[in-house]
Every structure is written in structure tokens, then in C-alpha cells.
């Protein structure tokens, strides 16, 4: 399967297989009018299977969202068809407006203007807690 | 500015200072009777809690200050749809300090982020109630002389009982703590309190359904009410509400120096005959609650430069 290489843009590589669509949704890539490719279940020597997202435009992506959904991805920045920067991502300490608290007793459930803030409690187990009510978020919350 | 939202906002040293001030207030009340003259406490109670509100109000009056506020959401602008953030901004124009009770978890934190005056969390849903924990700590200090080497039994609703979670995390900072968790299966202490508080602090704990079995070991027995408002399902509440009732019979094997505590209100989980037992401390806890709130109001107003 061939996907054209991109001229100026971003390649998000080493996304755990199955999380590519989730990342696509959370990053709001559907709203872009430039070419965006999602490659699912690509072969990977390190991971077995992986997802890849290619965005053919030099846009800013929310690194916190990427770090939350797939903390071990590599972000390749492409300029004039060449790789100019390779970034690895860490799990963000604070998540703002990435996921929503699901606790019906949380103040964010009734006050719509509040930011949804989660803080990282345990990086090893990827545990985030709502900054308001301390409810645990799972990696699949949205 | 310093606020009190979670008991963890206070260091061990700050808690010790508050306890020392509270003990000094108890010994020399006249020294403090004008300490907050001309200052106003706003009690913003978005859900009814008569005893906590009265405790805050009595504390402020005994410091020579004044009180304004409301005792239910219907009589506040919240009924018109005002946000917690706006309420906090408005009230901080009128008052020097705010005590807030709210049914939604995290509401006092939102208030503190938007207030120009210190905010005290007077209970947010099933989340935190730090001044109850301070009242419990003052009671333990006065009854036991300190916090080290205590065996503390928590009995009843350990799942929804926020006072239990909060007191466990406060006591976990001291040496030699042993915790006995006594509850029906359905109301066991949540696993995160064990994995995030008890285990990292290396605290010895036992989970049991039997109150009698561990009674002889206890230095403190902290009873709790099975709270109707924490259940979504009335049937579950009715089935579990009478799970553990403390009677003189059950106390027969207890140490003579046991302290029996309860955050109140009680329904029937402590038999009224026990009120006469010198080991019953729950009404002293109420009084201690007022004194520690006085100490807290003083501390926060001083740190905010308002007295």
C-alpha cells in the first residue's frame, strides 16, 4: 500500500494499533481541508502492528492530546520533503479540555464554562484524576 | 492566598499549629473574643447542613466577628442560574472569608480560584470535608495526647464515608498507625484509598466484617452513619443501614480508655445508652469542631492580611 510522502507537515508514528482513530477524533483532524492519511495496522518491527497519521500541512497539533492517547509516539516534522525534527512525547502532567469528567456529582457536570482539568497521578499506570472531584479517568475517557 | 479545600492543603506542622491555637482558645477564650472584630464570614450553603453552618457561625461570633450568607441554594442566586465562580467573585466583595458547602464535588475549589478572600470547603458532596477532619484530629489529640501508635477502628459505611477517607489520609502521616476497617462487603473502603494512602505509607490494616473481633485492640472506634443521600437506590440503603449498631454489650471487651467517635448526625448506629459512657467522645467532637474552626478562621484571615 502506497501513501504519497508529504512535503510540509507532520507524521505521527508509532501509535499503538487501534488508537489512530481516537487520536484523529481528539485532534479534530476531520476539520482540516488538507490531505490527512490514517494508516492502520502497519507492520512495525518494534511494535508488531502500529497506526500512523500523516498530515500534509504545517499545523500545530496539541501535544497533550497525543501524549495522553499514545504517550510513546514519535512526531516527525517534515519540511520540503525532508525530516527536520523528531519529537518524542511524554505523558502530560496536566490535561486541559482533552477529556471530560464522567462523575455526575462533579461541578463540571453542571457548570458548562469550566475547563475540564485532569492531573497525572501515576505515570506508570497512566492514572489521571479530575482536578475538581478526584475521579479517576481511564485512558479511553473522552 | 491560602484556602482550605482538602486536608492535604495543610502540612503536619500547620495542623499542629491549628491544634495548639484551638487548645489555647479552649484555655483562654477571652483572649480571642475580639480577634475578628469588624470582620465578616460568609456562609454559602448550597445544601442544608445545619450543624456545620452553625459551627462556623458560632466560631465567627466567638471571635467577635459577624456572619452573613444563606443556608440553601433556593435562597441564593444559584436558583437564578448564577455560576459558582460568579457567586464567589461577588461574595468576596462583601466578606473577609467564605465557608462553602455545595452538593457538587469541586465547587469550593472553583470558588477559591475566583475569590479574593480565603475559601474554606465546608463539604462538597461525597468528596472532602476538611474541617470535620480537623475536628476529629483535635479530638484525638485531646483524648490521646497525640497521633502516634494508635489502633483506629473505622466502622460502618467506609465506601461513601468521606470523613473516613479524609481522616485516614491525615492519620497516615503519623508513625505506628494501625487501621481496622469494619464494614459490610458492599460498603468496604474503596481500593484506591488502600492503594494510594495505606499501602504507600506502609500502614498496617485489617479488613473485617466483625466489630466484636477487633474491639479489644482499639484505641479509637470511629463509627459512621450509612447515609441515605449517597445511595442512588433506596433498597440498598434500607438493606445496609442497620449493619453495625454499637451497644453496651458490644463494648464489654473494649479497652477502658477507648475513645468512641462519630462525625454525627447519628441515626441509630450508636445506642443512646452509650452517651453516658465516659468513652463516648462524639459530643466533644462537636465542641472541638467549633474551636478548630475558630483557629482556622484566624489562621486564614491572618495569612490573607485581613487581621
Domain ranges within chain B, ordered by starting residue: 7-128+289-303, 131-285
Nearest Cα residue to A69 out of A128, A132, A133: A128
Q: Which one from B3, B53, B102, B129 is the annotated catalytic residue?
A: B129
A134 vs B83: CB contact, 8 Å cut-off? no
A133 vs B106: CB contact, 8 Å cut-off? yes
Q: Hey, which residues does A88 pair with through a beta bridge? A: A74
User: In chain A, what is the straight-line distance between the N-terminal and C-terminal CA atoms, in Å?
Assistant: 31
Has B302 been annotated as catalytic? no
B105 vs A132: CB contact, 8 Å cut-off? yes
Q: What is the pTM of this model?
A: 0.89
Cell of B275: 452517651
Supply angle C-alpha B5, B124, B164, rounded to 5: 85
User: In sequence order, what E strands does chain B have?
Assistant: 40-45, 66-70, 97-102, 119-124, 151-155, 178-182, 204-208, 220-223, 259-261
Nearest Cα residue in chain B from A111: B83
Confidence at residue A141, expressed as pLDDT on a 0 to 100 scale: 47
d(Cα B99, Cα B120) in Å, to the nearest integer?
5
Per-residue pLDDT tens digits for B81-137? 899 999 999 999 999 999 999 999 999 999 999 999 999 999 998 889 999 999 999
Give how far the C-alpha of residue B58 lies from the chain's centroid of Cα atoms, to the nearest Å.
Answer: 16
A113 vs B83: CB contact, 8 Å cut-off? yes
CATH second-level architecture of A94-137? Roll (2.30)
- DSSP class of residue B196 equals I
B105 vs A111: CB contact, 8 Å cut-off? no
- DSSP class of residue A26 equals H
Q: Please name the fold of domain B131-285.
A: Rossmann fold (3.40.50)
Has B101 been annotated as catalytic? yes
Domain with CATH 3.30.70.140 in chain A: 9-88
Confidence at residue B244, expressed as pLDDT on a 0 to 100 scale: 86
A111 vs B102: CB contact, 8 Å cut-off? no
Domain with CATH 2.30.30.20 in chain A: 94-137
**Chain A CB contacts of B124 below 8 Å:** 107, 133
Nearest Cα residue in chain A from B193: A134
**Chain B CB contacts of A103 below 8 Å:** 105
Confidence at residue B192, expressed as pLDDT on a 0 to 100 scale: 83
Question: Is the pLDDT higher at A72 or at A17?
Answer: A17
pLDDT over 70 for what percent of chain A? Answer: 94
B104 vs A106: CB contact, 8 Å cut-off? yes
**Chain A CB contacts of B107 below 8 Å:** 107, 132
d(Cα B107, Cα A111) in Å, to the nearest integer?
10
Q: Which of B84, B126, B196 sits opposite A111 (nearest CB)?
A: B84
- The β-bridge relationship of strands B66-70 and B40-45 is parallel
Q: Are B160 and B189 in contact (CB under 8 A)?
A: no
Is residue A1's pLDDT more than 60?
no
Confidence at residue A140, expressed as pLDDT on a 0 to 100 scale: 52
Nearest Cα residue to A15 out of A57, A65, A60, A82: A65
Q: Which of A107, A108, A118, A132 to mutate to test the interface with B (most CBs of B within 10 A)?
A: A107
Q: Does domain A9-88 have CATH number 3.30.70.140?
A: yes
Supply angle C-alpha B41, B263, B286, rounded to 5: 55
Supply angle C-alpha A73, A75, A80, rounded to 5: 155
How many A-B residue pairs are in contact by the CB < 8 A criterion?
Answer: 49
**Chain A CB contacts of B195 below 8 Å:** none
Decide if B7-128+289-303 and B131-285 have a common fold.
yes
User: In sequence order, what E strands does A20-126 have?
Assistant: 36-44, 48-55, 74-79, 82-88, 94-96, 117-122
CATH code, residues B7-128+289-303: 3.40.50.1370
d(Cα B118, Cα B97) in Å, to the nearest integer?
5
Has B51 been annotated as catalytic? yes
Q: Hey, which residues does B121 pair with through a beta bridge? A: B100
Q: Are B304 and B3 in contact (CB under 8 A)?
A: no
A90 to chain B, closest Cα gap in Å: 23
Cell of A69: 492517547
- The β-bridge relationship of strands A48-55 and A36-44 is antiparallel
Is residue A142's pLDDT more than 50?
no
Is residue B226's pLDDT more than 70?
yes
Per-residue pLDDT tens digits for B229-287? 767 788 888 887 777 899 999 999 999 999 999 999 898 899 999 999 999 999 999 99
d(Cα B231, Cα B273) in Å, to the nearest integer?
29
Interface residues on B facing A, Cβ-Cβ cutoff 8 A = 83-85, 102-107, 109-110, 124-127, 192, 196
Has B80 been annotated as catalytic? yes
Per-residue pLDDT tens digits for B183-198? 988 889 998 899 889 9
Nearest Cα residue to B97 out of B84, B74, B85, B115: B115
pLDDT over 70 for what percent of chain B? Answer: 100
d(Cα B144, Cα B141) in Å, to the nearest integer?
5
- Is the sign of the CA dihedral B189, B210, B270, B230 positive or negative? positive
Is residue A39's pLDDT more than 50?
yes
Has B131 been annotated as catalytic? no
d(Cα B123, Cα B106) in Å, to the nearest integer?
10
Q: Are A107 and B84 in contact (CB under 8 A)?
A: yes
Nearest Cα residue in chain A from B125: A105
CA dihedral B108, B110, B115, B118 (to 10 degrees): 40
Confidence at residue B19, expressed as pLDDT on a 0 to 100 scale: 98
Amino acid at each position: 500500500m502506497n501513501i504519497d510522502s508529504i512535503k510540509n507537515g507532520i507524521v505521527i508514528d508509532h501509535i499503538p494499533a487501534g488508537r489512530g482513530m481516537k487520536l484523529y477524533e481528539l485532534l479534530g483532524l476531520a476539520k482540516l481541508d488538507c490531505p490527512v492519511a490514517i494508516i492502520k495496522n502497519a507492520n512495525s518491527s518494534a511494535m508488531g502492528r502500529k497506526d500512523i497519521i500523516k498530515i500534509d500541512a504545517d499545523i500545530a497539533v496539541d501535544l497533550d492530546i497525543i501524549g495522553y492517547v499514545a504517550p510513546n509516539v514519535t512526531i516527525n516534522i517534515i519540511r520540503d520533503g525532508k525530516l527536520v525534527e523528531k519529537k518524542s512525547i511524554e505523558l502530560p502532567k496536566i490535561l486541559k479540555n482533552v477529556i471530560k469528567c464522567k462523575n455526575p456529582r462533579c461541578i463540571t457536570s453542571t457548570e458548562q464554562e469550566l475547563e475540564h482539568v485532569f492531573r497525572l497521578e501515576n505515570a506508570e499506570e497512566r492514572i489521571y484524576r479530575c482536578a475538581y472531584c478526584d475521579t479517576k479517568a481511564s485512558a479511553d475517557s473522552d | 492566598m491560602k484556602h482550605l479545600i482538602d486536608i492535604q492543603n495543610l502540612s503536619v506542622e500547620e495542623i499542629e499549629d491549628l491544634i495548639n491555637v484551638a487548645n489555647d482558645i479552649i484555655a483562654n477564650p477571652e483572649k480571642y473574643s475580639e480577634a475578628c472584630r469588624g470582620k465578616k464570614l460568609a456562609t454559602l450553603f448550597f445544601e442544608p447542613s445545619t450543624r456545620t453552618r452553625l459551627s462556623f457561625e458560632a466560631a465567627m461570633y466567638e471571635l467577635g466577628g459577624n456572619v452573613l450568607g444563606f443556608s440553601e441554594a433556593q435562597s441564593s442566586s444559584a436558583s437564578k442560574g448564577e455560576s459558582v465562580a460568579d457567586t464567589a467573585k461577588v461574595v468576596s466583595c462583601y466578606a473577609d472569608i467564605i465557608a462553602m458547602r455545595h452538593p457538587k464535588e469541586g465547587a469550593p475549589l472553583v470558588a477559591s480560584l475566583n475569590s479574593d478572600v480565603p475559601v474554606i470547603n465546608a463539604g462538597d458532596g461525597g468528596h472532602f470535608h476538611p474541617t470535620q477532619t480537623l475536628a476529629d484530629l483535635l479530638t484525638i489529640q485531646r483524648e490521646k495526647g497525640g497521633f502516634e501508635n494508635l489502633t483506629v477502628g473505622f466502622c460502618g459505611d467506609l465506601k461513601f464515608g468521606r470523613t473516613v477517607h479524609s481522616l485516614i489520609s491525615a492519620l497516615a502521616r503519623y508513625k505506628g498507625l494501625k487501621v481496622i476497617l469494619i464494614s459490610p462487603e458492599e460498603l468496604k473502603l474503596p481500593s484506591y484509598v488502600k492503594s494510594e494512602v495505606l499501602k504507600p505509607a506502609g500502614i498496617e490494616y485489617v479488613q473485617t466484617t466483625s466489630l466484636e473481633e477487633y474491639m479489644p485492640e482499639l484505641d479509637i472506634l470511629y463509627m459512621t452513619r450509612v447515609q441515605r443521600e449517597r445511595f442512588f437506590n433506596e433498597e440498598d440503603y434500607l438493606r445496609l443501614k442497620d449493619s453495625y449498631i454499637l451497644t453496651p454489650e458490644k463494648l464489654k471487651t473494649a479497652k477502658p480508655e477507648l475513645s468512641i467517635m462519630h462525625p454525627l448526625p447519628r441515626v441509630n448506629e450508636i445506642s443512646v445508652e452509650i452517651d453516658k459512657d465516659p468513652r463516648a467522645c462524639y459530643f466533644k467532637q462537636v465542641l472541638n469542631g467549633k474551636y478548630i474552626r475558630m483557629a482556622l478562621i484566624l489562621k486564614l484571615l491572618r495569612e490573607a492580611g485581613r487581621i
